[in-house]
A and B are shown apart, each in its own frame.
Chain A
Amino acid sequence: MVKIFQLIGKYWNIILFVMLEIFCLRLIKNSNTVQGNDLLNSSNALSAYFYGKQTQIISYFNMGSANKQLLAENTKLKNALDQYKYFDTTQNVVAKVPIVKYDSIKQKPTDTLIHTDSVGKPTIVQDLRPYGPPRVTKYASFNYIAAKVINNSVVNDKNNFITINRGTEDGVQKGMAVVSANGVVGRVAYVSKHYAAVISMLSSRPVSSQIANGNMGITIWDGKTADYVTMTQVDIQTFVKKGDTAYTTGYSFFPENIAIGTVTKIDTFKSNNTLNLNLKLLNNFRNLHYVYVVGSTIGIEKTELEKEIERQESALKNKDNKTQ
């Protein structure tokens, strides 16, 4: 027994050496297993702390190359993006609006209001409401062709034109109304294969318009600023106040009830019993990006009908001239 201890004492160093090496080799062997050595890897708190500090310091030295990499990546992304810049992502929409017919009209006694106009003379405004069950007679189908504004002018005194990237191939025809999300924009004046020129609200073309309860007028641009239009020939008995909104009527090429602008000023003309309303346009014409060309099946039908009347009338006139 003593001899064994003496032997161990004599070869203590080499025994320790061999034991340590065996332990190390076992560690190496185990490190490839799934269980591994959970303690002996760099995810433990101490080494992770040191590595965190190291990364903090080293990231400063890498900044130059990191910047270069980011710049290169930016360039690459921008190039990739530019390929899609002129890619047309606008989509056309079809809207179906029911056209409702009522069998009778009722005057609501409670809605008969007495208003005092600016002079102090009381006026009676009668409110006529449709009465009875509504009947849907037809669906007006509006085909909204989305378009991007590629050229826009607001500075001309007479007529301002907007160029859009839709043409006959996309279904745009001359005379179609153009609206945006905020309100009216104008009407298609010239069409080419892929483009169309829109004569905007800021031009000398009058637009039939109405305010809230159906009193109509004619809206026209006075050629001064790009923000205001004037609605003329409004009945003097119309009850209107500042802040009311003016809409389009169905009489013109526009679809009904598209907002034009809000009333900012009311001028009374006693001589012909009309009001002039100053409207602030809801659209900012200086900042137009996307518009919709409104193709309306009913609208086309209507214009054709009206053209037919014109043609007959002119034919009648020619006849008269000939007889004379």
Chain B
Amino acid sequence: MSVYLRNFLRFIFLVGIQVLLLNTLSLHWFSGSSSFPTFIPYIYPLFLLLLPIETPVWFMLVSGFVLGLTVDVFMNTPGLNAAASVLMAYSRLPILKFILPRKLYEYRNATPSVEVMNWTPFLTYVGVLLLIHHFALLLLEVWSLNAPLYFVIKLLASLVTSLLFVVLYALLFSKQINNASRID
């Protein structure tokens, strides 16, 4: 499967999961306490995170914009997700440079994944970028820091749940792990 087709399908899959499934869940960890915020996990940024490493920055930005806008159309929040996604897309390259041990041009035709990076760097990479995304998104949404504790709790809850979904996605779709389990 070509890289373009695979990413296109991933775009549709992730947006579908996000819009049709995750947005309809309103989670709250402790159902008893009313002060604990309800939140939803965001998994659609994974599309940007899994683009090939050598993707040019302008394409990252445009695809982030299109991705965010698509989700916005479904969520009735024009610009919110797009702004967060663009910010995340822009800050991807510095994070990658920071995390990957070798120079970036050495990773030809590679995508950031568990096989290439191993679990800890991959999760760090995903975690930091999702944190940026979630922070921007939630901040734009509430547009104030009147209740910082509430904001932080909501951010962390959403982030952790999103990361759980990312791990699930990685376990489901990475070839190496699947092959290894088949050998076992």
Contacts and interface: CB of A to CB of B under 8 A. Distances in A.
Contacts of A156: none
A58 interface: yes
B20 A50 contact: yes
B68 interface: yes
Interface string B69-106: 10011111111101100110010000000000000000
Given A12-B58, A21-B86, A42 B76 contact: yes
A40 B69 contact: yes
A13 B93 CA distance: 12
A41 B58 contact: no
Interface of B: 16, 19-20, 24, 57-58, 61-62, 64-65, 68-69, 72-80, 82-83, 86-87, 90, 140
A243 B111 CA distance: 96
A50 to B, nearest CB: 7
A24 B58 contact: no
A37 B79 CA distance: 10
A37 B83 contact: no
Contacts of A25: 79, 83
15 contacts: A13-B57, A13-B90, A16-B62, A17-B90, A20-B61, A20-B64, A23-B79, A24-B68, A27-B79, A28-B80, A31-B78, A40-B72, A41-B73, A41-B78, A42-B74
B20 A54 contact: yes
A21 B83 contact: yes
Consensus secondary structure, chain A interface: helix
Nearest to B90: A17
A40 B68 CA distance: 11
A51 B20 CA distance: 7
Given A17-B86, A58-B24, A24 B79 contact: yes
A21 to B, nearest CB: 6
Contacts of A23: 65, 79
A13 B58 contact: yes
B92 to A, nearest CB: 11
Contact of A24 (B16, B74, B83): B83
Contact of A20 (B19, B20, B65, B80): B65
A13 B82 contact: no
Nearest to B20: A54
Interface string A26-65: 1110110000110011101011001101100010000000
